[in-house]
Structure 1
Amino acid sequence: MLYKDLISIYGSSLAGKSAPKDDPVWSLSWSEDLQVFREYALAALQQAKVYLLDHLAASYADTLHDSMQENSQDDSVAAMAMLGEVSLPERVTWVEFEYRALVVARFERASPSTAHYDEPVGSGVRGYLIDNRNSDHLRVAMFSRPEGSKIMDPICSLLVNRTAQGGFDYDNIKVDLSRSMVNFRVRIGDSKEKIEALRGLHLIDTGADLFIPFALFAMLVSPDLGGIIPAETDTFTAKDTKTARKFGKSWILGAQKSHLTIRIGPQAAAHMREKQQRLEFERQSREERSGPVRHWVSEHERRYRDGKVVLVKGHHRGHIPDPSLPTRVMGPKPSVTDFDLTLRD
């Protein structure tokens, strides 16, 4: 779990036991800003209610996002706003899912978010730390670890301001840039333009998948749980705890001992099957409307109203049919051709 790894890395760094190969940010560019952020993040992670979505549960929440976008008349409305006022289950929450499995599922179901890609783009895992303890705003930090990469602190976080009534104002979001991560990027030789691009990309990625934890929170309080099944699971094993006591790893002993693993139930599974069947039906419909099967057109004259005559040379027309698909032969309509079936001498 990314949650466990963050606890371990942040706890070790603050205790002065961080290995450079595991934590290059701390080793290369320690600063007071980095120290303050990690002290905050470690304390928040230890207090957080932890949710781990399996790949089907994350994909299910994501299909709800697609459905809302399809039915929305206003593209400018934030996805979370479509859910209405969502009550967060705890003052601090952590929601984690496998990002690679999510992008593959998006690509397979032809999600609008993959319209400009030829293959699934993205890897690793993602986790959202959602802090609701401030009376002025909601703080959202998205942690990402692509496959084969080390854990990096987020380059920025979102601050969602509150309305006068205490709800969330999704049209009034501020960006809290991490000075320590900017310093780290400068230290390893990144240009100003690259750092700005990374900040913009992280901001987009954070907002794009923020719907998933909010959809989870909405389903947790619905009468039928929205088709999901939460199950309590140990986060740290007895061996982990024993080792932490032996070597004085208080940051592990102070963390949550268990988390809720979220899986889908029959209702959600039925929804996803129906979604897949509808996509398959639409795909077949598009193929049927894609024009005639490839055939030869003989040389002929084309006459226009203005009297012009053009000789059209023989050529092929239409598309080559998929050999795996059955060929459907349709005869002429009765209203078009009338066959004479009378016997002749």
Structure 2
Amino acid sequence: MAVRMGSKGEPAPSRTLVPVQELHDAPLAPLTTFRLGGPADRLITATTDAEVIAAVREADDSGTPLLLIGGGSNLVIGDKGFAGTALVVATEGFSLDGTRLELAAGEVWTDAVARVVEAGLGGIECLAGIPGSAGATPIQNVGAYGQEVASTVTEVVAYDRVARETVTLPNADCAFSYRHSRFKADPGRYVVLRVRFALEDADGMSAPVRYAETARTLGVGVGERVPLAAAREAVLKLRAGKGMVLDPEDHDTWSAGSFFTNPILTDEAFAAFRARVEARLGAGVVPPAYPAGDGYTKTSAAWLIDRAGFTKGYGTGPARISTKHTLALTNRGGATTEDLLALAREVVAGVRDAFGITLVNEPVTVGVSL
């Protein structure tokens, strides 16, 4: 059950805070990694939990639509923009007590991972390089290279817009699953303020390496441990090679990372999928398959996209598939959101026609849909 939480015990801010900032008819594209989207009627930047809550309450009391923005790495905003208040959560707070970590929602996630690794603690080292803010990580149950935050999150402190109070949700109440959570299932209810983690002190060694590609890069077997810094550096290298580490000079990183989630199929649906693969590509072609719980199998969205004919660099307009990874849709400069969505719809239709699977977008869409 959620329990109330007061402000006592919150870590002191790491910088001098300024009063809440407010702009009107404010561009939102620069606040997203896609660099797409029209303006917001009103843009507020909040630097404390109290400012965040006050802005949310004001919007709720007046019936004004509210858009929360963290790192902007998981947003697709329509070209017409947002008719309401956009709230940038720019809170700061990094508190490490033994193996217990607390992050303010506005903390830059990849910077926090670097600090944790430097402190010699394991559990999130393979989540290095993921763009965005700490507050977004439990919403998406962010994961990569064999780790996901559900394994280390102990509590999420959030403002409950229905109960109109600050609550603390333990891990068991967060309903974590693959790229999903209670917060994502009910996006209008909770505003994440702080996230707490339980890390591991293994004398500077990583958690057991679970992802085969990471293990190969490190030259170890799956299940082995390596120095934390080596694990982090290997993941950063792998991500950079796929255009998944932000670089303003590299248009392959003008994206939301993986645009589609990996499909999870029932045993019956997976058998039908395999039959379509054999009919289309030949009996010797075996699609990727990973256990996803009793009666379910996960397959690869990137594999589906590539085998449906959408290879790296696909497209002729300003929105194209990344030249480094088929799972990323990118803005090559000068694109509009409609350009991006047209490409996404083409990919979805092509994969569905080829394999009978409908891909689901991972980024949140604002004012638009596939």
Please report the TM-score for the alignment, with normalisation by the length of structure 2. Answer: 0.23
Larger radius of gyration: 1
Instruction: Report which of the two has the higher share of helix.
Output: 1
The TM-score, its normalising length taken from structure 1, stands at 0.24
Larger RCO, structure (CA 8 Å, separation 6 or more):
1
